[in-house]
Structure 1
Amino acid sequence: MTRHVVAIDNGSQSTKVLVVDEHGAVKASARVGLRPYETPAPGHVVHPDDDVWDSIAAATRVALERFDGDHGSIVGVGLCTIRFCRALLRADGSLAEPLLSWMDDRVGRPFDGAPGVERLSTSSGYVAHRLTGEFRDAAANFQGVWPIDQRTWRWSDDPAAYEATGMPRRMLPELVEPGGLLGTVTADAARATGLPVGLPVYATANDKAVEALGAGLARGDELLLSLGTYISSMTIAPGPESGSAYWTNFGSRPRQYLAESEGIRRGMWTVSWFRSLLTESPPPGPATDVPAVVASQDDLYALEAELSRAAASLPLGSEGVTVVLDWLATAGEPTRRGAIVGFSGSQGRAHIHRAILEGIAFTMADHAEAMADELGRRFTSLVVTGGGAHSDLMLQLAADAFGLPVRRSRVDDAAGIGAAVCAAVGAGVHPSWDDAVARMVGVLPATEPGSEAPAAARLRVVHRGIRERVRALSAWAAEQER
């Protein structure tokens, strides 16, 4: 009998759930949009109510309803959630307040206490508790301000680490490595999700690392470009040390590390934002009516495809329009802002759409090159994942800007496939990580750099100069407002 796993991929804008067989074929899937973030106070960005869990439960129910195979063949669940989130929990594991987004200022600071908070975890630890009743979490999902030892993947032995983070050891969950058992599905979770009672739930890592696993990233000369709400580029790192042009993240295999370049905050979000301005359809809302959410998403994706077709007919450079993607300032540079410049009155919406994609390609090519220089290596190929990988125009722009052949994953949800690989290894479906990746992960034929690659290299320099000047202008404008 062919065995199957359920892969949960909870991202910043939606939750996707796949039912995947042992060969990596997706047999059923569902997507449920998350509600817009709420900002109850300056610097606070949260997922409203219990939205992350609600979306996971709804998407899992729909995916299982769509799976027409033998439900008895499902041997495990791989759980992947958004990184850099923080869950403030009561003693019983319920949310003391809504889940803190990765954009919330508090996740970058030590915990300073909050009423009723007895436990601390990431989004995966909270969801794992909802599924299993256990206080366990994926060790490789602890990035940011946590007292974790980067070398051992365990809580630190240094008392100063707990003092510096404001997190007593008693408040923290048990850590589980990728492929390790988080627990088994409880009766309450089974009623909410449709998963069988007693089904094992396995740890993965942070969502970007799981995406890299599902894309097959395995060598130091390969680069992954993750086109999500947060856009990043990653490669295999030699160890846990970071540099000035990159930081080191946990991988989704035990003791694997990923070097990650500087990224773009709210990167593909900008594409979603722009297309939402051009339609009367509302943005993805509460996951109370799955068909309505899916229909709204389909309308928006159809508009994006229309914009991409029109943008593909335009020349490189978008006839003078340039987009600088810094819509969400960082704590270190609070005055940074984005910009759309270069209007002459002759451009339309397709020019702006293309300029957004060009801005992503040029900015990330610069960031990846800086990382490569510091690591002392040159990349020979690029794998593109995430929502932006659907766009043929985005792939061609990336190939031209990076000067590399570009491939996309065979399955468009690389994080979902990565979560499935972790569950398959944990459940013993495949005997090793290498075997699971070889059997379950695939990429499509490459898009090669085209005739515009030389012009793209020149335009990268221009775009870099515009970014630097917009940054200086933002700082100057902020100074004048004081």
Structure 2
Amino acid sequence: MSQRMFAIFDIGTTGTRSVIVDEEGRELSKAYEEYPSKPKELQTHEQLADTFWRTSANTMQRAIAACKHGAESIVGVVVATTRDSLTPIDKQGKPLAPTVTWVDNRSSAKSKELADIIGPRKSVNKIMWFQENRPDFFKKVHKWVHLDAYINNKLCGSLASSPADARFGPIDHGTLQWSEELCEATGIPIESLTDIVNSGKLIGEIDMDAAKATTLRKGTPVIMGSGDQQCSALGMGVIEPGIVKATTGTGTFVITHLDEFFEEPYVMFCNPAAIPGKWILEGVIPGTGLTYKWYRDQYCEPEMALAAKTETDAYQIIESSASSVPAGSEGLIMFPFMAYRLGILYHLGFNHTKAHVARAILEANGYGIKMYLEMMEGMLDMQFNELRIDGGGANSPLWRQIQADCANKTVVLPRVRDSTVIGAAILGAVGTGIYGGYREAVENMFHIEERREPIPENVEVYKKQYQIFNKILNAELGNILEATS
């Protein structure tokens, strides 16, 4: 087995994962730590910035300890993070306030007036909120740092973000550098923003403090990573037009590759890809995994008790019952936008059981993915032959089959379910010169475990159910757009 390895930090919304990956895309060890309960004084969508670093250091120590090869075999370190989470810091790099996470939609009166030029740059709204509501504090801020820059600074002293995270700030989409015009219009000092460095570039080496905290070897190269979804797309080989992936975790992200920037895609986002100079078209179904978790926590106490007693996963027990329900859940449709308080159970009748509701939640994710696939195919004038999937939802055979049936496409399952870490490792492999380019790296590091074909009779059922889902969506679209603006 190859002993050239990469240490990956995968920093998410609810916890941090550290993973050791070799140059052939094999996971050698990993560790995960969920964020602890937040102090009561924090707002709902805030997090203590030190929590991200503490869990990163803790999990990396455990991942290295669990790997049979030592830290001396690690040739590169890469950070992948959830995007649009912003922390104000002082000149010593210390947080001046809690991190405002991506879920936070705070904005100012002025940012609403400038909505047409700010567009989807949500970090601009966050900064302008401080400018309007805490003007004295605003003047004290040395830098506004995204999560990748915060961790990179802890590792090697580099206050730098990738275009994937910087994209939410006052960035020029043409140059992928900060826009002086936009900074002037919004009143954001350009000197208060971090450097922007392309993914896959060397940004420094592990310093002594980081080595002590993480047990990484001092002097190990640190390569610029990317956003979690950009890394996921790269890790599943979404590097050319005609390939699409869906990641189901806290929410669901449907992404395809673009060679050029796409101006104002309807209800989707055009974001910088992990590969410099390329782009991704991204559709988001918020809260799909959270909806399923809500259902488990609120209505499945017996299943959770049985899971604890038998040392199994409660979701497996839930899905065992859900798999006995016919495709289409006998007419029951879940509208999954609970993140905006717009969740709906439609056509609920006395014949429906808990198992019907569970299956309807899984099917709602399939309808949402199908919606974005159709939009992308129409917008780009192409057809996707298959759907590559990863994330927690990919672990469920039932969920995989539902996605294949709803989309009426072959579903491709990667060997490593968490493709974010594979994509980050690919950035490290190209950045350190192990592979000469991204195509070569993908060919060597992305591996397929399963192909699942749609079941024709289920496809027909879901076509009819999807039409009803679309009617609900059209009726609620105004409320959704208002909630996300």
Give the structure-1-normalised TM-score. 0.87
Check conservation: 1:9, 1:81, Cα contact below 8 A. yes
Distance 1:275 1:248 in 2: 34
Match of 1:136 among 157, 160, 172: 160
SS in 1 for 2:203: strand
Q: Name the CA shift for 1:90/1:366 in 2 (closer, same or farther; >3 Å).
A: same
Offset of residue 433 of structure 1: 1.6
Amino acid at match of 2:149: G
Amino acid at match of 2:316: A
Residues 303-352 of structure 1: CA deviation (Å, up to 9, x unaligned): 011111211121112233321111223xxxxxx61122433334333222
Matched, 1:312 2:303: no
Q: Name the CA shift for 1:340/1:393 in 2 (closer, same or farther; >3 Å).
A: same
> CA RMSD, aligned part only?
2.7
Q: Name the CA shift for 1:207/1:165 in 2 (closer, same or farther; >3 Å).
A: farther
Check conservation: 2:20, 2:27, Cα contact below 8 A. yes
Match of 1:287 in 2: none
Match of 1:203 in 2: 224
Check conservation: 1:381, 1:404, Cα contact below 8 A. yes
Match of 2:468 among 446, 462, 481: 462
Match of 2:355 among 322, 328, 350: 350
Match of 2:119 in 1: none
Matched, 1:258 2:280: yes
Check conservation: 1:87, 1:121, Cα contact below 8 A. yes
Distance 1:111 1:270 in 2: 30
Offset of residue 55 of structure 1: 1.8
Offset of residue 38 of structure 1: 7.5
Distance 1:125 1:453 in 2: 45
Amino acid at match of 1:425: V
SS in 2 for 1:111: helix
Match of 1:270 in 2: 291
Distance 2:49 2:259 in 1: 40
Match of 2:174 among 151, 156, 160: 151
Matched, 1:185 2:211: no
Offset of residue 227 of structure 1: 1.0
Distance 1:236 1:79 in 2: 22
5+ long unaligned stretches in structure 1: 284-294, 330-335
5+ long unaligned stretches in structure 2: 107-121
Q: Name the CA shift for 1:348/1:164 in 2 (closer, same or farther; >3 Å).
A: farther
Check conservation: 1:140, 1:153, Cα contact below 8 A. no
**Equivalent residues in 2 for 1:14-413 (5 A)?**
14-35=15-36, 45-48=45-48, 50-106=50-106, 107-108=122-123, 109=125, 111-112=127-128, 113=131, 114=134, 115=137, 116-144=140-168, 146-156=169-179, 159-242=180-263, 243-261=265-283, 263-278=284-299, 302-329=313-340, 337-413=342-418
Residues 90-121 of structure 1: CA deviation (Å, up to 9, x unaligned): 22111111111111123451623352321012
SS in 2 for 1:431: coil
Residues 377-404 of structure 1: CA deviation (Å, up to 9, x unaligned): 2111110111111111111111111111
Distance 1:136 1:314 in 2: 50
Distance 2:339 2:100 in 1: 16
Check conservation: 2:78, 2:424, Cα contact below 8 A. yes
Distance 1:209 1:337 in 2: 28
Amino acid at match of 1:211: S
Check conservation: 2:331, 2:465, Cα contact below 8 A. no
Indicate the larger mover: 415-424 or 128-137.
128-137
Distance 1:473 1:142 in 2: 29
Residues 160-213 of structure 1: CA deviation (Å, up to 9, x unaligned): 211234321211112211111232222222222221222221112111111000
Offset of residue 244 of structure 1: 2.0
SS in 2 for 1:72: helix
Residues 128-186 of structure 1: CA deviation (Å, up to 9, x unaligned): 11111222222232232x22222322223xx3211234321211112211111232222
Give the structure-2-normalised TM-score. 0.86
Check conservation: 1:32, 1:55, Cα contact below 8 A. yes
Check conservation: 1:85, 1:122, Cα contact below 8 A. yes
Q: Name the CA shift for 1:453/1:274 in 2 (closer, same or farther; >3 Å).
A: same
Offset of residue 241 of structure 1: 2.1
Q: Name the CA shift for 1:410/1:256 in 2 (closer, same or farther; >3 Å).
A: same
Residues 222-271 of structure 1: CA deviation (Å, up to 9, x unaligned): 2111212231211111311232253211101111111113x211121212
Distance 1:276 1:400 in 2: 27
SS in 2 for 1:345: coil
Match of 2:443 among 430, 438, 446: 438
SS in 1 for 2:285: coil
Q: Name the CA shift for 1:134/1:468 in 2 (closer, same or farther; >3 Å).
A: same
Q: Name the CA shift for 1:474/1:62 in 2 (closer, same or farther; >3 Å).
A: closer
Offset of residue 472 of structure 1: 7.6
Offset of residue 35 of structure 1: 3.8
Amino acid at match of 1:194: T
Q: Name the CA shift for 1:74/1:49 in 2 (closer, same or farther; >3 Å).
A: closer
Distance 1:350 1:62 in 2: 38
Check conservation: 1:37, 1:45, Cα contact below 8 A. no
Q: Name the CA shift for 1:233/1:128 in 2 (closer, same or farther; >3 Å).
A: same
Distance 2:225 2:150 in 1: 14
Query: How many positions carry a matched residue from both structures?
Result: 452
Offset of residue 432 of structure 1: 1.8
Q: Name the CA shift for 1:339/1:37 in 2 (closer, same or farther; >3 Å).
A: farther
SS in 2 for 1:75: strand
Residues 49-77 of structure 1: CA deviation (Å, up to 9, x unaligned): 62222221121111111011132111111
Q: Name the CA shift for 1:37/1:102 in 2 (closer, same or farther; >3 Å).
A: farther
Q: Name the CA shift for 1:25/1:341 in 2 (closer, same or farther; >3 Å).
A: same
Query: Which has the larger share of helix?
Result: 2
Distance 1:409 1:80 in 2: 19
